[in-house]
């Protein structure tokens, strides 16, 4: 087995490399790289390189679709490609709840459209696995630590009614699924842990932090408008986002997924979101607050 992997500098990539230390890293940003020559002896290619430049349509399509198409075009005929896709391909409003691999995809953002187009490019190869991954959390994903800062300052509000279900998955569980994808049957797999309500997520986090959970609520549409107004101002003064449109959508949409297929064929056993929250808050208190 000769495994090549793209995107090893990313947070997910680093976790996968820990499980597959013999995998050979490939830098797709090297324009002089001859991919066909590089992949000539590949039995497997794990493709993790992608773009999260939500405000840059051109970069999204280049990073998610064009690079993927380039990788697919360079693969040996019998090599398998494992692609890190996203649950965003279903759109913000699921066609059914819980959604599964057969649920109709209705991508409603440039990011989602670029990821679905990349999936289709990968599927055209035949020997492929596409993992539709829920929002990932873990020690490396400090976005969530910044959100805990906001909670501690009492500035967080519940978006909408708070009864919507929010899916997450731990980076370690995703890495294991990618490793299992090397030898499983080809196709699409959903990778998510159990979904908790937005309200309950805040309650669990705040309980671990020893603070009161947010009680104030804000209409999602109003929150979106406020973000559009405040983001440019914060950038002007050199301040980072305290909440991005993508985070807003993660928190505000009602999404539940059926991962039966992954549990059967990938032996996918994600840690419970409740346990993951405790783990992440513990890391936050130990390493972020000191």
For 63-78, the pLDDT digits (tens) are 999 999 999 999 999 9
- Of 199, 182, 181, the closest CA to residue 190 belongs to 181
Query: 258 to each of 74, 114, 169, how far by Cα in Å?
Result: 33, 23, 13
* pLDDT confidence bin for 164, thresholds 50/70/90: very high
pTM of the model: 0.94
φ/ψ of residue 166, rounded to 5: -115, 120
Q: Which CATH architecture has domain 3-140+167-193+255-270?
A: 3-Layer(aba) Sandwich (3.40)
Q: What is the mean pLDDT of the segment spanning 277-284?
A: 97
For 214-266, the pLDDT digits (tens) are 999 999 999 889 888 877 776 666 666 666 777 788 899 999 999 999 999 99
Q: What is the mean pLDDT of the chain?
A: 94
Distance, CA of 147 to CA of 61 (rounded, Å): 28
Q: What is the pLDDT of residue 239?
A: 65
Q: What is the pLDDT of residue 242?
A: 62
């Amino acid at each position: 087995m000769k495994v090549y992997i793209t995107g090893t500098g990313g947070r997910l990539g680093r976790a996968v490399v820990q499980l597959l230390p013999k995998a050979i890293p490939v830098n797709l940003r090297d324009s002089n790289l001859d991919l066909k020559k590089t992949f000539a002896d590949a039995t497997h290619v794990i493709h993790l390189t992608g773009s999260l430049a939500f405000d840059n349509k051109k970069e999204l399509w280049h990073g998610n679709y064009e690079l993927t198409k380039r990788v697919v075009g360079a693969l040996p005929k019998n090599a398998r490609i494992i692609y890190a896709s996203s649950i965003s391909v279903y759109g913000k409003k699921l066609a059914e709840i819980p959604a599964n691999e057969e649920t109709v995809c209705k991508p409603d953002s440039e990011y989602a459209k670029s990821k679905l187009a990349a999936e289709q490019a990968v599927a055209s190869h035949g020997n492929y696995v596409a993992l539709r991954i829920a929002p990932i959390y873990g020690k490396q994903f400090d976005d969530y630590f910044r959100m805990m800062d906001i909670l501690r300052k009492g500035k967080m509000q519940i978006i909408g009614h708070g009864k919507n279900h929010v899916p997450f998955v731990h980076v370690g569980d995703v890495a294991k699924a990618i490793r299992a994808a090397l030898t499983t049957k080809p196709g699409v797999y959903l990778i998510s842990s159990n979904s908790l309500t937005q309200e309950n997520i805040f309650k669990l986090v705040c309980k671990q932090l020893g603070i009161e959970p947010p009680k104030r609520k804000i209409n999602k549409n109003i929150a979106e408008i406020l973000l559009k107004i405040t983001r440019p101002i914060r950038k002007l003064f050199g301040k980072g986002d305290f909440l991005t449109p993508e985070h807003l959508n993660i928190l505000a949409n009602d999404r539940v997924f059926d991962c039966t297929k992954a549990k059967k064929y990938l032996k996918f056993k994600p840690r419970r979101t409740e346990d993951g929250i405790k783990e992440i808050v513990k890391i936050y208190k130990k390493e972020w607050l000191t």
